Structure 1
Amino acid sequence: MQRSLQKPYLGKALRRASIAGAIGCWAGTSFAQSSVTLYGLIDSGLRYTTNADKAGDSRWQTMSGGASESHFGIKGSEDLGGGLSAIFQLEDRFFTNSGTTDPAYPFFNTAFVGLQSTTYGRLTLGRQLNPFADAVMRTYITNPWLPTVYQFRPEVGMAQGVWTSSMAKYAAQWHDVTVEGSYAFGTTGAFGAGSQIGASIAYVPQGPVSLAAGYLDARDAVNGSAHFKAWTAGGTYTFDSTRFSLGWAENREDPGFTGNFPNGPYTTATLTALKFNNFTERTMIFGGVTQTVGAATHLSANVWRTLQEGKQTSGDGNATQFQLMADYNLSRRTDVYIEGDYAWYSGGLIGAQIQGFNGLSAAQGSTQLGAMVGIRHLF
């Protein structure tokens, strides 16, 4: 999804360097306006986490992206005339500590090309955000001024990896309503194995209330008859500089489901290590309050409640997670942040990765305390 459509959950536009030019047609009688934009974000933080391993040890570590995953990208468009444009986007996610690409993702985590019409909507092909993730991030995402994924955002794990490969996605907007539909083609095994379908609807008016809902259905990459299904719904209410959000998400796995790789971001072995294949049903209710103070400060308080039914009794469990965060803009492109989180886990959710992604240690005990400070720069 193009960054302009992500404005409701980014909270502020990235300042980008743009290169614009005109390309003439072969006959030289008309011109198509084209533009290419280079953009990015570099984030690095220091985090302290308790119960980071089975021995109960605490851990200090530098984080390559604490409030936002570090990334750079290039995107562009060409005006084809008659309200039709060709569009593309490429984006890589990397670790600031080592300068290497995040191994959880392909080199270009976002890679799509498509057509956008002022009348008929937008069609894109490639690796991109799925409709479930788009619905949440347009409306009731926690800490909406931050990009899609960061260290402690549990709801992203409910969106089947957020990005999907081999996807064809169509989006159309009527006034304040945006609808999306997608199909990701399976790349291994029998026809349909590893495929995914998705749909969402979002109502984002100028007024105080925003609402959205989304759905995904992924088929196992090997056993195509097994499904992983996800639903979400929620909304926000904004009063002056205060925003209240509330969301619900549910995941259901068939007994034979082992993974959706390579369309999803993780192999079966990785999903098993994260205990993501241990449940038949996982339900999360989450919400928060965000307060903007002046033009430079964001404050937020968030809570997540998760209930799980395991494929075996040992997989049953629940979790309650809390977070406080403050972010201060030193300039239009540079900000500093401080974050704290605390959680209780029981049963099959001890050791499960439901805090977020990008190297965060899953709790190996019934409680976990985390604290983080960092700085990020946007370009």
Structure 2
Amino acid sequence: MKKASLAVAVLAASTSAAWAQSSVTLYGIVDAAVRYTSNANPGTSTKTMVPGGMSQSRLGVNVTEDMGGGLKALVNMEHRFASDTGAVASATDFWRQAWVGLQSNDFGQVRLGRQYNILFDVYTSTFASFRYSPYIEAYKPEIGMAMAARQDNMVKYLAQFGNIYAEVQVSAGEGQSGAAAALPNKTAGLLVRYNDGTFGAGGAFLQATEQTGKKIKATVLGVSYTDGPLYVHASWGQNKYDAVTDLLSSGTSATSPFAIALTTRGAYTSGLLGASIFNNNSADINKRTMYMFGATYQLTPQFNIGANAWLTKQTHFGLTGVPGFSTTPGSSSKADFYAAVADYAFSKRTDAYLEVDYTKTDGAVAFLNGATKRAGTMVGLRHRF
């Protein structure tokens, strides 16, 4: 009996040693800030606690299994939540990322599932708004240009050749119906970027198609430069939309399934700016362009300051015959965004920040209360683990 027990123990030890290259890592961010906003929309307080000032709070799991011969299995699941209440960030979007993949030293990496799209990847990896944080969660015009930032049912291929990185994205968009058809989940695109630690440059093109065949075509190009404590960047992005004639002629609401990707038409920036003044409906957008530029400087190992500007413009197809709203074909609207951030790191994982921002609009776009100007400021604390 003792010999049998010893044999089982030896077998178990040898088996676990053979499979000991698997790892499961729990990670997350908890971020909360107190924010003041001028000209707040009706029903919204000017003073609020936001559940994520610089970063959205999240809890994630990374799984890596080394299968030998340079081959690894990868899994990522990431849940977003509101740090002020503990609630799920979105009732219909519990897992913001959920994908499985394979990585090889020879062929690169393949991922299957819900994940970030290539527009989000190029913005955050190559010419991020701020060096220590890829964007301001509470104020992020560039993410409004990134076609919802994530897609379902995606197959993504990633490869690296020295300092050159490439990504290909394809998603089928199956299962969409009704208003869900407006979400840009049928996509195809390509990203190429270069980064040597000092100079970065990249570009991406992504096309989304909804069930009726209407399309969005998004293009992003940009550069960045890092020299010791200094980081500077500049980029150009454009979203071009097919005309939604059914919606424009009937004047129906923005929930129409014929309104392609209204999540991207509806605002210059996610959750910040209201849609066009007609019935909260911004289907009358032909093309939207954004120039982004800014700089971050590390004054001390713990203290960073940075400023950023986003200059945006959109042109209109022309909407007539709707009481209280009309645009001339080829006319344009503008929105300019400015923000500055001071960040102090108490440790490698915990930092505090002070942020100020200002928004100005012109043309057939305004805040939901009709205001064309808005200022904001927030003080927050963030911990990463």
Shorter chain as denominator, the TM-score bin is 0.7 to 0.9
2:41 pairs with 1:46: no
Q: Choose the corresponding residue for 2:232, options 226, 236, 244.
A: 244
Q: Distance in 1 between matches of 2:369 and 2:233?
A: 26
2:225 pairs with 1:234: no
Secondary structure in 1 aligned to 2:120? helix
Offset of 1:117 from its aligned partner? 0.8
Q: Distance in 2 between matches of 1:209 and 1:118?
A: 25
After the TM superposition, which of the residue ranges 119-128 and 364-373 deviates more from structure 2?
Answer: 364-373
TM-score by length of 1: 0.82
Offset of 1:274 from its aligned partner? 6.5
Q: Distance in 2 between matches of 1:105 and 1:289?
A: 36
Aligned to 1:169: 156
Q: Choose the corresponding residue for 1:350, options 366, 371, 378.
A: 366
Q: What is the one-letter code of the residue matched to 1:228?
A: I
Rate the CA distance shift 1:30–1:234 in 2: closer, same or farther, 3 A. Answer: same
Aligned to 2:271: none
Offset of 1:240 from its aligned partner? 2.1
Q: Choose the corresponding residue for 1:322, options 304, 317, 338.
A: 338
Aligned to 1:10: none
Cα shift readout 1:289-335 (whole Å, capped 9, x = no counterpart): 10012211111011110011123327831011111110101111111
Q: Distance in 2 between matches of 1:36 and 1:29?
A: 16
Aligned to 1:5: none
Q: Choose the corresponding residue for 1:309, options 291, 309, 315.
A: 315
Q: Which has the higher contact order (CA 8 A, sep 6+)?
A: 1
2:146 pairs with 1:159: yes
Q: Distance in 2 between matches of 1:25 and 1:129?
A: 40
Aligned to 2:295: 289
Rate the CA distance shift 1:199–1:275 in 2: closer, same or farther, 3 A. Answer: farther
Q: Distance in 2 between matches of 1:260 and 1:250?
A: 15
* Residue pair 2:203, 2:221 contacting (<8 A) in 1 also: yes
> Runs ≥4 in structure 1, deviation > 3 angstroms?
23-32, 188-191, 259-262, 270-278
Aligned to 1:217: 207
Length, aligned pairs only? 339
Cα shift readout 1:8-34 (whole Å, capped 9, x = no counterpart): xxxxxxxxxxxxxxx989988943510
Rate the CA distance shift 1:298–1:27 in 2: closer, same or farther, 3 A. Answer: closer
Secondary structure in 1 aligned to 2:122? helix
Q: What is the one-letter code of the residue matched to 1:46?
A: V
Unpaired runs of at least 5, structure 2: 1-10, 245-257, 268-273, 319-326
Aligned to 1:277: 283
Rate the CA distance shift 1:196–1:137 in 2: closer, same or farther, 3 A. Answer: same
2:271 pairs with 1:255: no
Aligned to 2:128: 141
Secondary structure in 2 aligned to 1:133? helix
Aligned to 1:195: 186
Offset of 1:194 from its aligned partner? 4.5
After the TM superposition, which of the residue ranges 274-283 and 129-138 deviates more from structure 2?
Answer: 274-283
Q: Distance in 2 between matches of 1:346 and 1:25?
A: 70
Aligned to 2:251: none
Q: What is the one-letter code of the residue matched to 1:110?
A: Q
Rate the CA distance shift 1:149–1:76 in 2: closer, same or farther, 3 A. Answer: farther
Q: What is the one-letter code of the residue matched to 2:205?
A: Y
Q: Distance in 1 between matches of 2:280 and 2:230?
A: 35
* Residue pair 2:151, 2:185 contacting (<8 A) in 1 also: no
Larger Rg: 2
2:73 pairs with 1:86: yes
Cα shift readout 1:245-300 (whole Å, capped 9, x = no counterpart): 001100011113623599x9x9xxx9888655331100000100100122111110
CA RMSD after TM alignment: 3.1
Rate the CA distance shift 1:104–1:163 in 2: closer, same or farther, 3 A. Answer: farther
Offset of 1:50 from its aligned partner? 1.2
Q: What percent of counterpart residues are identical? A: 31
Q: Distance in 1 between matches of 2:17 and 2:85?
A: 51
Q: Choose the corresponding residue for 1:130, options 111, 117, 121.
A: 117
Aligned to 1:120: 107
Aligned to 2:82: 95
Q: Choose the corresponding residue for 2:47, options 56, 60, 68.
A: 60
* Residue pair 1:176, 1:205 contacting (<8 A) in 2 also: yes
Q: Distance in 2 between matches of 1:28 and 1:64?
A: 42
Q: Distance in 2 between matches of 1:271 and 1:35?
A: 45
Q: Distance in 2 between matches of 1:323 and 1:157?
A: 16
